[in-house]
Amino acid sequence: MIQLQDIQKKIPQTNVLLFDNLNFALNNHQSVAIQGRSGSGKTTLLKILAGFDTRYTGLYKFNGLIVSKDPKKNIKFRKDNIGIITQNYNLLYDRNIQANIQLGLTEKSRNSTKEIKEILSLVGLSKYSTKKISEISGGEAQRVAIARALIKKPKILLADEPTGALDEQTELEILDLFKTIQALGTKLIMVTHSDAVANVCDGKYVLENKRLI
């Protein structure tokens, strides 16, 4: 499904190499965890996989097709294939849960109440759809971010330290949700420091010495 070939990436200002000869292959049936020290490039790697960061050399193929290095040309690729949960969730705090989840859809399909109901039920927020983000807990905000990423039914869900800011009990609840998501057929690529989170995935990689090992 995903192939990265000989990726080389420099940090813009300093020209220091972040990735050198990085290779990665993910088949259709795997979910993987990515671990590595702070600053090793985990978030940058997710941005490349999402088609946001296109300033690298080497080849990125998704289902056999080359992902363009023109960010504008990647909008459709991302819309069709990729769901993203960023480290700080990027939710709109003055709007309610439902409005935030709708941001995951294109404008045309934003009023599809059936899909919103389904996804609220999946993430366990059916009763709270009109609550504002400023009025909910960190675990609930994480569920909203997951729902927003999943509502367009992406093939892959990229998650950047999805439980980093949560307590242990809430982490376990979110882990159960990730298991459900996987059972429903969405593949996960998760950056995580937590072995418990990594164990939800089929494989583990470490970003080390500018490569994925």
Ligand X SMILES: Nc1ncnc2c1ncn2[C@@H]1O[C@H](COP(=O)(O)OP(=O)(O)O)[C@@H](O)[C@H]1O
Kindly write out the interface string for residues 125-164 of this chain, putting x where it contacts Mg ion by CB under 5 A and - elsewhere: ----------------------------------------
5 binds Mg ion (CB under 5 A): no
φ and ψ of 148, to 5 deg: -65, -40
Kindly write out the interface string for residues 40-79 of this chain, putting x where it contacts ligand X by CB under 6 A and - elsewhere: xxxxx-----------------------------------
Q: What is the DSSP string of 59-75?
A: EEEETTEEPPSSGGGGH
Q: Give the shortest CB-126-to-Mg ion separation in angstroms.
A: 32
43 binds Mg ion (CB under 5 A): yes
Place of tokens 């330290």: 161
Reduced to 3 DSSP states, what percent helix, strand and coil does the chain have, rounded to the nearest 5? 35, 25, 40
**Which of positions 4-43 make contact with ligand X (CB under 6 A)?**
11-13, 18, 36, 38-43
Q: Give the shortest CB-112-to-Mg ion separation in angstroms.
A: 33
194 binds ligand X (CB under 6 A): no
HSE (side-chain half, CA atoms, 13 Å) at 71: 7
Residue nearer to ligand X on the CB measure, 11 or 172: 11
Contact between 177 and 143 (Cβ < 8 Å): yes
Contact between 74 and 67 (Cβ < 8 Å): yes
Longest dimension (CA), the chain: 50
Residue ranges that bind ligand X, judged by CB under 6 A? 11-13, 18, 36, 38-44
Residue ranges that bind Mg ion, judged by CB under 5 A? 42-43
